[in-house]
A and B are shown apart, each in its own frame.
Chain A
């Protein structure tokens, strides 16, 4: 059983209240940081820990913090990105629902490290009940003197606000989030300037994922070196994985990075294998935007090594034979799953969520969805399959924000690894829509 740094006390009754949380060692990092460390020392610990952003891109958090511009007399901000809405990812919701004080503690410590006196949690609009939980917890923290003026007599002030979004996936992109937080339409900004130089209200801003901010707590408590001992290579620490799909035990697991994928899927400690005794067909390892991989490639890399749950191992082989750890939304599909239908479903999501600002994404996501809809419903042609690849390539890399790529990658990967299934949909139009039809057709052939 791996170590649990974030979720150790998650099932303690009443852990969402200040007293119980405090009794279980809560707010130690705030005391330690504010009383014994300078802000730069906290940043240094985070750098040493090797913590990588948990929101999807995996950019080193310490490095992101050190890029923050610090002009004289200009306030800085820390914004927590709680706009988790990627299909398959639901780790932050759990963390915030059950351990709201962990996020608040992380926000205080991180804001102190960055010298921010006003910080924001931008939460997804659909999670209104979580917003209430957070607001109650924040009120408790204010009452106990952990937020507000002169925290713990250290002379450091911090105001923390929770702000709900309007329910747009695109507002999880950091610059769109900032636009939305400023009260504008949630369109991503062109970069540069990056938020670290001109972010919220044109002030230097750091935007971090909920889990990254929560991970600052154990890093400050135990020291960055201690944190870096967990994991393999540049993938340090623990990661929350939200496992869903055709698994015996779907749910949220905190794993030490470096657990083999095979163990994660099949061991009873984690997901407990595929449901109904079926075989695994494919896995989307990091939320719907990362490339899908077939069973052979998710368990072993192309070179035949065991695939591990780390940033490096999952992306081994690039996009030809690899994928990404992403945000940790682990979607497993059993052998009866229709990949075309699944890809169409993902594509429909991105079509719906494109902000419509730049032309390749606005028009391309809709185009992909329409072609996939046609293929799935038995009206496709052979040349549509190449059309999908071509359109995906026209979107990829040419958009303002990564949503274009997020829409293009799953389609390109599905065609790359499951082309035969797309072709089967074209040649068997009458069967195409029946669930599991491809699986039974293939079984009949064997």
Chain B
């Protein structure tokens, strides 16, 4: 066991745990963001640099600080390690820089993107980014590609986290897509348009942190926050498939099926393509009840959880705006 201090909070974790997972055990808003790391998939992490933290003391044996910021998702803890995340301004500054870097070539087409509302990049930018850009040049763009009958790749939105590559490596029998090219011309590709039609390929949609890989049976059907997530299961014939899913309802229709995710957006159990794409009738499933969605997510607004209300924010409204609302009610159209 190793005892570490993370942002002033002491926690004991088994040896070999990464700093990020130690922080997740503490939970709350001190957890570093992760755009590329994905616990269930081996080999992920270390690429997006969003989770960089300062190690102020390496270990009890060698208390020297580490010279550079380290990626918390792949750095393992040492006994006596002292880590600074939200308590260190330089870490927050670097994180702001990482948001900027990730966004300069991102199309920012959230209003038409199916991922909006459950997008890691959106959350990350909202929490750590700035509202303006210093980037004046043209953004790189790609054509949309259909890879297989169910998945569409919109490379323009991709942040090259490599999650889908590792997922396909580890879940499907034969990976047919990968990263082609290099630098900012690197792209996820299926080389001469091989199609992905393996049993578990649909999981790449769930692991994608942005809207680069989308479910073609769901595209443009609805915004996620207008749908109701319901836990369900079925007896799937595929031995590797858990059959435990979340159905996303709008009215009586099941608009899409996804795997169940934990609070950090990581899939708990993988599901097969048949469950994901072909079983869209309530009759196919045994319903368990409303799926729990973290109350900070926009998806939970108006549904099963309390609406997203932060009392602090309302109390801090400047007096003028409160008064204005009382004395001058907003104009109504057509008056």
Task: Decide if A145 is an interface residue (CB 8 Å cutoff).
Answer: no
Task: Decide if A359 touches B101 in the complex (CB within 8 Å).
Answer: yes
Q: Given A367-B137, A398-B49, A399-B49, check contact A354 B183 (CB 8 Å).
A: yes
Q: Enumerate chain B residues within 8 angstroms of A355, measured Cβ to Cβ.
A: 182-183, 186
Instruction: Give residues 369-418 of A contacting B (CB, 8 Å).
Output: 370-371, 374, 387, 390, 393-394, 397-400
- Minimum Cβ distance to chain B for residue A40 (Å): 26
Within the assembled complex, what's the spacing in Å between the Cα atoms of A371 and B137? 8
Which of A358, A363, A370 contacts B46, CB < 8 Å? A358
**Distance (Å) between the CB of A191 and the closest chain B CB?**
10
**A418 vs B61: C-alpha distance when bound (angstroms):** 45
- Which residues, 213 to 246 on A, are CB-close (under 8 Å) to B? none
> In whole Å, how far is A405's beta carbon from the nearest beta carbon of chain B?
10
- What is the chain B residue whose CB lies nearest that of A361? B183
Q: Which of B159, B179, B181 contacts A359 (CB 8 A)?
A: B159
Chain B residue at minimal CB-CB distance from A387: B134
When distances are taken between beta carbons in the complex, the residues of chain A under 8 Å from B179 are: 185, 356
Q: Interface extent on B, as a size class?
A: 20 to 34
A353 to B48, CA, bound (A): 18
- Residue A429 CB within 8 A of the other chain: no
| B195 on interface, CB distance cutoff 8 Å | no
Q: Confirm or deny: B104 has a beta carbon within 8 angstroms of a beta carbon on chain A.
A: yes
Q: How far is the CA of A394 from the CA of B45 in the complex (A)?
A: 20
CA distance A356 to B98 in the complex (A): 14
What sequence of 0s and 1s flags, for each residue 326-361 of chain A, a beta carbon within 8 Å of any chain B beta carbon? 000000000000000000000000011111111110
Select the residue from A387, A393, A398 with max chain B CB neighbours within 10 A. Answer: A398
**Chain A residue, CB-CB nearest to B186:** A356
Task: Check: A366 CB closer than 8 A to any chain B CB.
Answer: yes
Q: Are A362 and B160 also in contact (CB < 8 A) when A367-B104, A367-B137 are?
A: yes
Task: Tell yes or no: A196 within 8 A of B by CB.
Answer: no
Give the residues in chain B near A354, CB-CB below 8 Å. 182-184
Q: CA separation between A417 and B282, bound complex, in Å? A: 69
Residues of A close to B178: CB separation below 8 A: 185
- Say yes or no: A400 contacts B47, CB within 8 Å: yes
Question: What are the residues of chain B within 8 A of A398 when measuring CB–CB?
Answer: 49, 52, 68-69, 94, 97-98
Given A190-B46, A394-B100, CB of A356 within 8 Å of CB of B68 = no
Chain B residues with CB under 8 Å of A387's CB are 134
Please measure, in the bound complex, the distance between the C-alpha atom of A363 and the C-alpha atom of B105, giving whole angstroms: 7
Q: Does A170 contact B (CB under 8 A)?
A: yes
Check A359 against B102 for contact (C-beta < 8 Å): yes
* Interface: A322 (CB within 8 A): no
Contacts of B184 in A (CB 8 A): 351, 354, 356, 362-363, 365-366
Note all chain A residues with C-beta closer than 8 A to B191: none
With A356-B179, A397-B68 given, is the CB distance from A363 to B101 under 8 Å? yes
- Measured in the bound complex, the distance between the Cα atoms of B49 and A364 in whole Å is 13
Collect the chain B residues with CB atoms within 8 Å of residue A190's CB.
45-46, 71, 74
Asked if B142 is an interface residue, CB under 8 A from chain A, the answer is no
Q: Determine the chain A residues whose CB is within 8 A of the CB of B45 once the complex forms.
A: 190
Scoring B49, B137, B181, B184 by chain A CB atoms within 10 A of each residue's CB, the highest score goes to B184
Residues of the A chain whose Cβ atoms lie less than 8 Å from the Cβ of B74:
190
B314 at the interface (CB under 8 A from A): no
- Indicate if A168 sits at the interface (CB-CB under 8 A): yes
A190-B46, A370-B137, A398-B52 given; A356·B97 CB < 8 A: no
Instruction: Identify which of A168, A359, A366, A371 contacts B47 (C-beta below 8 A).
Output: A359
**Minimum Cβ distance to chain B for residue A207 (Å):** 20
Closest Cβ neighbor of B187 among chain A residues: A356
Q: Is B264 close to A, CB under 8 A?
A: no
> Which of these, A357, A360, A370, contacts B97 with CB under 8 Å?
A360
Residues facing B in A97-137 (CB within 8 A) are none
Which residues in B have their C-beta under 8 angstroms from that of A390?
Answer: 134
Distance between Cα atoms of A290 and B89 in the complex (Å) = 28
Q: What is the CB-to-nearest-CB distance from A143 to chain B, in angstroms, rounded to a whole number?
A: 40
User: Contact at A170–B98, with CB atoms within 8 Å?
Assistant: no
B126 at the interface (CB under 8 A from A): no
Interchain CB contact under 8 A, B137 and A394: no
Query: A219 to nearest B CB, angstroms?
Result: 30
A359 contacts B183, C-beta separation under 8 Å: no
| Chain A residue at minimum C-beta to C-beta distance from B105 | A363
B-contact 0/1 string along A167-198, CB 8 Å cutoff: 01010000000000000010000100000000
Q: Mark B43-70, 1 if CB is under 8 A from A, else 0.
A: 0011111101000000000000000110
Cβ proximity bits B160-188 to A, threshold 8 Å, 1 near / 0 not? 10100000000000000011011111100
In the complex the two chains form, is A362's CB within 8 Å of B186's CB?
yes
Among B97, B135, B182, contact of A170 (Cβ-Cβ < 8 Å): B182
B47 touches A363 (CB 8 A): no
Which residue in chain A gives the minimum CB-CB distance to B185?
A: A356
Q: A170 vs B181: C-alpha distance in the bound complex, in angstroms?
A: 13
B97 touches A394 (CB 8 A): yes
**Nearest-CB distance from B176 to chain A (Å)?**
15
Question: Taking the nearest CB of chain A, how far is it from the CB of B63, in angstroms?
Answer: 18
Residues in chain B near residue A374, CB distance under 8 A: 137
Judging by beta carbons under 8 Å apart, are B94 and A394 in contact? yes
Contact B183 A352 (CB under 8 A): yes
B49 engages A358 (CB within 8 Å): yes
Shortest Cβ gap from B77 to chain A (Å)? 13
Given the known A-B contacts A185-B179, A363-B104, A398-B69, are A357 and B94 also in contact in the complex, defined by CB atoms under 8 Å?
A: no
Q: What's the least CB distance linking B147 to chain A, in Å?
A: 19
Interface CB pairs A-B, < 8 A, 25: A185-B178, A190-B71, A190-B74, A351-B184, A354-B184, A356-B184, A357-B47, A358-B48, A359-B47, A359-B98, A362-B101, A362-B183, A364-B101, A365-B184, A366-B183, A367-B104, A390-B134, A394-B94, A394-B98, A398-B52, A398-B69, A398-B94, A398-B98, A399-B49, A400-B46
6 closest Cβ contacts across the A-B interface?
A: A356-B186, A394-B97, A354-B183, A190-B46, A363-B101, A366-B184
